[in-house]
Structure 1
Amino acid sequence: MLHPNRHASRRRPARSRPRRALAHLLPALLLALVVPLLTPGAATPAAALGNGLAATPQMGFNDWNAYGCNVSESLIKTTALAMHDNGMQSAGYTYVNIDDCWMTHSRGSDGRLVPDPAKFPDGIKGTADYVHSLGLKLGIYEDAGLQTCAGYPGSLGHESADAQSFAAWGVDYLKYDNCYAGPGCALNSCANGTKAPAQTRYATMRDALAATGRPILFSLCNWGEDSVWTWGAGTGNSWRTTGDINASYSSMLSIFHSNVKLASYAGPGHWNDPDMLEVGNGSLSDTESRTEFSLWSEMAAPLIAGTNIASASANTLSTLTNTRVIAVDQDPLGKQGTMVSSTGGLDVLAKPLANGDVSVVLFNETGSTATITTSAAAIGKTGAATYGLTDLWTGATSTTTGTISATVPAHGTTMLRVSGGTGGGTATGGPVRAVGAGKCLDVPNSTTTAGTQVQIWDCNDQANQQWTHTASNQLTVSSGGTQLCLDAYDNQTAPGTKAIIWTCNNQPNQQWRVNTDGTITSVQSGLCLDVTGRSTANGALIDLWTCNGQSNQQWAL
């Protein structure tokens, strides 16, 4: 039974979103459309999302933390240009995301959402075109209920139409909130029996997005309710694990403690989301901002900057663009860091990395400087006389025989990359699915003949479809009992080069990058792994081609 004040603590006071009387906003027709969704048991577990997106946690910007409802086309374009010019884009930030308040308070006569013409004179499509021209991607906000949290039209009962609009506008990312979840619901609370199940509502939009044929990253924002981490992987690319963050150390600390426990639910394509970064905002000091960035990266969280990017200080930009720390967040092994020890507010976290290193964060929660100590064995490293240490904030390098220790300021972190010995990351394996065709990368007839061109085929979980992306960036497969590598034929680098199997030899034509945009590119040529002719048929052959963003170059591991 859901008490009306059940979620009073999650009414988002920091957002100060207006509440509007529900009765005059909801036509009877809309109520009729959504009531069937309230049937008990309507939500059913879904298979893995597999849209080929967010192989590593998404990186970008969202306007809400810094601007609230004051979003506009001008703001988004200015921010996108700043990211293009200030090093953020080159550091990996991809998405420029519009939050609430971008639309008019009523749908159009055709039932479609209408961008506010005063805020977005060129519409969302014009804004997306500009963002895309910079090599960036555009995100947008909607709600899985009857209204957005600020009182604008929600998508409940309109999922297909809204997904079609987003795709037509060129949207690449959807943040999907959870306010006004059914008839009789206020902002975050509902009268008994009136709340449509979250999993059902989110799955409906998932399917609507998939039906458009456009790759759109799906970010679930239901504030950690309904144990979303237990079903989120089959529904979205990330899911909020907590209530809203604000720009204070206490808020950041509370959210960290909630999110760090959920490591087992995160992985490539599906991430725990402890909310947007407050780096550069509010009362957070530079030390606390670096701590947030360290912890979020260690926890393999989405890195969505929420500050005024165009006017960001040098210290803020330095924190947001630290490529050594970003590499930990974006590590292709996709493991979320876990707590190794926590005593008296002195925490040690460890995150295994794909090349066998381990990222270690020494976090001082307390108000006084303290020394934090752990060991190579405690973080999973063994078998070496000495281990290499790289301080990811200063770049300084050193060695240790096993002790890992640092003097850490109040509310601060020391973040180290530990190399040497054994332990740490391991290779990842499984099917490689062609998103456009819905079929799997396959060695024809489980052959062991070197030089055979690979193909796509109905996924069947057999060994000739099980690929391992190794720490040395090879894609290996056991076909007919023989381990072979994916290979660019004869070291060729021209579009149309065949993708074949060959004896593993560690040469550049057997090195592959698995990218956050769903592509797999040859390290040697930079060309994309491609299903020839955009075919969806069994037996369609695989080659290398100039990257073009089309669905036949999208892959899900």
Structure 2
Amino acid sequence: MFVTTLVVGLLAVPCLGSVNPAKPQMGWNSWNTFKSNINETLIKSSAKSLVDTGLAQAGYKYVNLDDGWQAFTRDSSGRQQPNSTRFPSGMKALADFVHHMGLEIGIYSDSGIYDCAFYPGSYGYEERDAATYASWTIDYLKFDNCGSFQAGTLSPQERFLRMGDALNRSGRSIFYSLCQWGNQFPWHWASFSDSYRISGDIKSAFGEDSSGVCQSAYCLNTGYAGVSVLTMIRKMRELSRFQRPGSWGDMDMLEVGTGTMNLHQEQTHFSFWAALKSPLIIGADVNTISKVSLNILMNKEIIAISQDDAGVAVNYLPDLSTEHKVQVWGGPLASGKSRYVVLALNYGLDTTKITIPLIGLPGLNRSNLAKYTLREVWAGKVYHHGGDNLVLENVALNQTKVVVFSER
């Protein structure tokens, strides 16, 4: 009875995220590359690199500090405070710098007594911390669940709701991003946030998981870290239909540019995060990122799929796919003349041909096929439609062909 009441109550809660984004957020986060070893100089240089490389102009506007910015104790008034050695100018001055660059700034805290590195969490201090972030002109809060074992008398839902409510009353619009690793299946209850993590932490690997990683979305949340790109995509087979504007399921940060994947793997990674409407948060060092990876992250056509006006994620099409060999996904688009997108991934074969019967693409207006132009995004190839099948030649191992159907 209690569980039913809780679920019904959560479904009735309005979006507490004060941003309520119509499109998935884009930006950069310090964690994947630097872990808790961050400082003022690094954050400033990263903000400057977002602008200088053109990433900011492409839409990557958030500069997010992850764990490691804090002092180990609160100040005399009980407020969180920055590490004075790493951030000598303070958070307000850093926020002013980032804002002056035309960007927005994010910060990190935890729903427990401590965070993952045992800096002070926000449990019991939600109102004070939200007010502090607002006074620093923070724009984004990543809210973790590492300290939950010190605050286990309250459910994750209640702890996350408390901070969401505090942010709403802070007097500032602050993006609210939950980081609870898919714990207790947040796609069923986390719609009060602006985005929520659907799984454990991503690993900088295309197909190799760490031990104990859960392969599907519903398997008791085992393996909270070390999830590969392919496994993250596999989980979204069950979750893509939960994606909707206002509260986005987050597949974790992008590993494009971290030096562990080849060209086709990085293209596949970026394509699926965009088409599945996951936030696009760069995890690489943008000060040293390669030109090849930078070009992937700045591909305008893939970004347009992410930021499409329809806000609908692609769905896995099992009738057109072969397990451990080929995956085919498809979904509608609504920006400009774009009307549909297909992703075809070869993840188990030598270079191969993938034939997709157009009648098998749900939601595609097949009566107007002659009016469509079909463009393969990564190759820049235009197909002149003249049959019932989309035939994709020479699809390499771990390569994804992304084809956009546009009205002529």
Q: Could you tell me whether the CA contact under 8 Å between 1:174 and 1:217 is conserved in 2?
A: yes
Structure index of larger Rg: 1
Structure 1, unmatched stretches of 5+, are: 1-38, 186-193, 422-557
What is the count of residue pairs matched by the alignment?
Answer: 373
Go from structure 1 to structure 2 and tell me whether the alpha carbon gap of 1:244 and 1:195 turns closer, same or farther (over 3 Å shift). farther
Candidates 374, 377, 387, aligned match of 1:392: 377
| 1:289 counterpart residue number | 266
Q: Which residue of 2 aligns with 1:343?
A: 322
The structural deviation recorded for 1:49 is 3.7
3-state DSSP of counterpart to 1:272: strand
Partner of 1:149: 116
- Spell out, residue by residue over 1:163-215, the C-alpha distance to the aligned partner (whole angstroms, 9 max, x if none): 001111011010000012143x7xxxxxxxx4420110000000000001211
> Could you say if the C-alpha distance between residues 326 and 385 of structure 1 is closer, same or farther in structure 2, counting changes exceeding 3 Å?
closer
Equivalent residue number for residue 159 of structure 2: 201
338-347 or 120-129, which moves further after superposition?
A: 338-347
Q: CA RMSD in A?
A: 1.9
Task: For residues 394-425 of structure 1, give each alpha carbon's deviation from its aligned partner in whole angstroms, at most 9, with x where no partner exists.
Answer: 3222221332121311111111101249xxxx
Partner of 2:366: 382
2:329 partner letter:
L
Q: Which amino acid aligns with 1:403?
A: N
Contact 1:172 1:217 in 2 (8 A): yes
Deviation at 1:332, TM superposition (A): 1.4
Show CA shifts across 1:324-347 (max 9, x none): 100000001100110123213201
| TM-score between both structures, scaled by the size of structure 1 | 0.65
CA distance in 2, matches of 1:93, 1:267: 20
1:50 Cα shift?
A: 6.3
Which whole-Å CA distance do the structure 2 matches of 1:374 and 1:332 have between them? 26
Write the mapping of 1:451-530 to structure 2, written as runs, cut at 5 A: none
Instruction: Choose which of 39, 56, 60 in structure 1 pairs with 2:23.
Output: 56
Tell me which amino acid in the other structure corresponds to 1:170: T
Give 1:97 shift. Answer: 0.3
Matches within 5 A, 1:126-275: 126-183=93-150, 194-233=152-191, 235-250=192-207, 251-275=228-252
Closer, same or farther in 2 for the Cα pair 1:94/1:106, shift >3 Å? Answer: same
Structure-2-length-normalised TM-score: 0.88
Distance in 2 (alpha carbons) for counterparts of 1:272 and 1:399: 35
Check conservation: 1:53, 1:215, Cα contact below 8 A. no
What secondary structure does 2:317 align onto?
strand
Distance 1:89 1:391 in 2: 25
Q: Deviations over 1:55-107 (max 9, x none)?
A: 10000000100111111111111011011111101111110000001001111
Letter aligned with residue 382 of structure 1: R
Q: Which residue does 2:86 correspond to in 1?
A: 119
- When structure 1 is superposed on structure 2, of 271-280 and 255-264 the one drifting more is 255-264
Distance 2:389 2:81 in 1: 60
- SS across alignment from 1:304: strand
CA contact (8 A) 2:270 2:297 kept: yes
- For residues 280-359 of structure 1, what are the structure 2 equivalents within 5 Å? 280-341=257-318, 342-344=321-323, 345-355=325-335, 357-359=339-341
Aligned-partner Cα distance in 1 for 2:287–2:70: 24
Letter in 2 for 1:307: A
* Residue 243 of structure 1: how far off its partner (Å): 0.4
| Bigger relative contact order (CA 8 A; separation at least 6) | 2
The structure with the largest helix share of the pair is 2
Instruction: Tell me: CA distance 1:395–1:168, structure 2 relative to 1, closer, same or farther (3 Å).
Output: same
Structure 2: give runs of 5+ residues left out of the alignment: 208-227
Identify the residue that residue 414 of structure 1 maps to in structure 2: 401
Check 1:42–1:390 CA distance in 2 against 1; reply closer, same or farther (3 A cut). closer
Say which SS state the counterpart of residue 154 (structure 1) adopts: coil
Partner Cα separation in structure 1 for residue 349 and residue 126 of structure 2: 48
Q: Percent identity of the aligned residues?
A: 36
Distance 1:385 1:125, change over 3 A: closer
C-alpha deviation, 1:295, in angstroms: 0.6
1:125–1:41 distance in 2 versus 1, CA, 3 Å = farther
| Residues 169 and 225 (structure 1), Cα distance of their counterparts in 2 relative to 1, 3 Å cut | same
Secondary structure at the aligned position of 2:378 is classed as coil
Q: Residue 169 of structure 2 aligns to a residue in which SS?
A: helix
How far apart, in 2, do the equivalents of 1:396 and 1:382 lie?
21
**1:452-503 CA-partner distances (Å, limit 9, x unpaired):** xxxxxxxxxxxxxxxxxxxxxxxxxxxxxxxxxxxxxxxxxxxxxxxxxxxx
Question: 1:31 aligns to what?
Answer: none
Deviation at 1:315, TM superposition (A): 0.4
- Alignment correspondent of 2:222: none
